[in-house]
Amino acid sequence: MAERRSATIKDVAAAAGVGIATVSRVFSGTGSASAATRERVLAAARELDYRPSALGRGLKLRRSGGIGLVVPDVTDPFCAEVVAGVLACARTLGEHVIVDAAHGDPSREAEIVDRLVEQRVDGIIALPAGDEADWRVAARVCSSVVFADRVLPGLPDIPSVQADDAGGVRSLTEYLAGLGHRRIGFLGGAPGRPAGVRERAFRDTLAQLGVPVEEDLVVAARPARDAAYAAAAGLLQRRADVTAVLAAGHLLGEAAVLVARELDLRVPADVSIAMVDDVAWAELCDPPLTAVARPGHDIGYRACELLLREPARRGRGGPVLLPTELVVRGSCGPLRSARR
């Protein structure tokens, strides 16, 4: 038996009693067509099982469609939540997503962005780590760009969706100070990243509480496990008088827990530990870890909505800030007289 020929746009036009241009307008969403004509065309397409060519439509509109999503690391728990949120929103809006990871390398990020621009995607969502100049070019060439979780200071016009990191760190610092802690170690990251925002919030909150900031207790680390471990070990070995540690990310929190265990420090009897990012393993620690929960899934979903649904609202009123939540568990306790 001969294989059935796929229906063409000419077949749909003939079945609906309209011109080919009208069918094209109905499926591309450009131009005008009455509701009755649109319904007649769609009914004919369903009857003939017609599928418009995405390649042909992309060539005509000079774009391939879809969304580009650039993240630092797809295996990172928070990034994975952001990706899931973008995919969930894109699915409801009938868009596909191209995901790539830059691994914190600005040159790799620039290559990914160039490739997405060449593919003429409808827009790009990114957790940026690269150079402002590269993103300035991408925002000019690409139809739209939205930042998620992070911003680049030199590009205030690019809309963004972020967690209220300052508010989360403020609540965590106030909680530790309320337990009587005054020598609180801070494990942070490179300036300009989200950890930089968190460090400023930590310093400002202590100042408002009348607690002096000891520079020796504020330690920065690269976003890597070995660097996080070295920072935590240096802090807890150098300062035996530290009674609490606030880690600005889950890698730093993991390092603080490992170092405390290796130094035979009891948590929270000898040192209280808390961190930003309520990842899955935090609840499985012994004792479970106090953490600031950041809405990764909601950040991704909202960024995708902003990109596709609300172009008129982009950039108005500054970044979209989503609330964080302090999750209190057993890793923090009241101040003891001294570490054993």
Tell me what pLDDT residue 156 has. Answer: 80
Residues 165-196: tens digit of each pLDDT: 999 999 999 999 999 999 999 999 765 455 58
Total of domains in the chain = 3
Which of the two residues, 24 and 233, has the higher pLDDT score?
A: 233
- Together in a domain, 206 and 287: yes
Q: What is the pLDDT of residue 43?
A: 87
pLDDT reported for residue 231: 95
Per-residue pLDDT at 338 exceeds 60? no
Domain assignment of residue 1, yes or no: no
Mean pLDDT computed over every residue of the chain: 86
Is residue 272 located within the same domain as residue 174? yes
Among 133, 158, 183, the domain boundary falls at 158
* pLDDT above 70 for 79: yes
Asked whether residue 96 falls in the same domain as residue 184, the answer is no
**For residue 217, what is the domain's CATH number?**
3.40.50.2300
- What is the domain-level CATH number for residue 34? 1.10.260.40
Please state which of the ranges 88-97, 208-217, 279-288, 331-340 shows the lowest mean pLDDT. Answer: 331-340
**pLDDT score at 106:** 85
CA distance 296 to 192: 20
Same domain, 201 and 286: yes
Q: Of 254, 271, 294, which marks where a domain is finished?
A: 294
Has residue 331 been placed in a domain? no
Between 34-48, 54-68, 279-293, the lowest mean confidence (pLDDT) is in 54-68
Q: Which carries the bigger pLDDT value, residue 59 or residue 117?
A: 117
Q: Output the pLDDT for position 60.
A: 47
> Residues 87, 112: one domain?
yes
Specify if 77 maps to a domain.
yes
337 part of a folded domain: no
Last residue of a domain, one of 125, 142, 158: 158
Indicate whether 186 and 255 sit together in one domain.
Answer: yes
Q: Is the pLDDT of residue 154 over 90?
A: no
Q: Are residues 74 and 94 in the same domain?
A: yes
| Residue 262 CB neighbour total at 10 angstroms | 12
Structural domain boundaries, residue 16: 9-61
Assess whether 186 and 289 both reside in one domain: yes
Widest distance between CA atoms in the chain = 89
Q: In what order do the strands lie in the sheet with 145-148?
A: 97-101, 67-71, 123-126, 145-148, 160-163, 320-322
Instruction: Looking at the structure, tell me whether residues 95 and 210 fall in a common domain.
Output: no
Q: How confident is the model over 116-132, as a mean pLDDT?
A: 84
Q: What pLDDT is attached to residue 239?
A: 93
What's the confidence (pLDDT) of residue 59?
A: 43
| 324 in a structural domain | no
- In this predicted structure, the answer to whether residue 61 has a pLDDT above a threshold of 50 is no
Model confidence at 11, pLDDT cuts 50, 70, 90, reads confident
Residues 106, 179, single domain; the answer is no
Sequence-ordered list of residues with C-beta below 8 angstroms from that of 298, at least 6 positions apart, any chain: 85, 322
The answer to whether residue 260 is domain-embedded is yes
Tell me: do 53 and 81 sit in the same domain. no
Does some domain include residue 4?
A: no
What pLDDT does residue 52 have?
66
Residues 6+ apart with CB under 8 A from 304: 67, 85, 86, 89, 90, 93, 125
Region of poorest pLDDT, from 28-37, 145-154, 272-281, 300-309: 28-37
The structure tokens listed for 48 are 């003939």
Tell me if 13 is assigned to some domain: yes
User: Which of the two residues, 42 and 72, has the higher pLDDT score?
Assistant: 72
> Is the same domain home to 16 and 75?
no
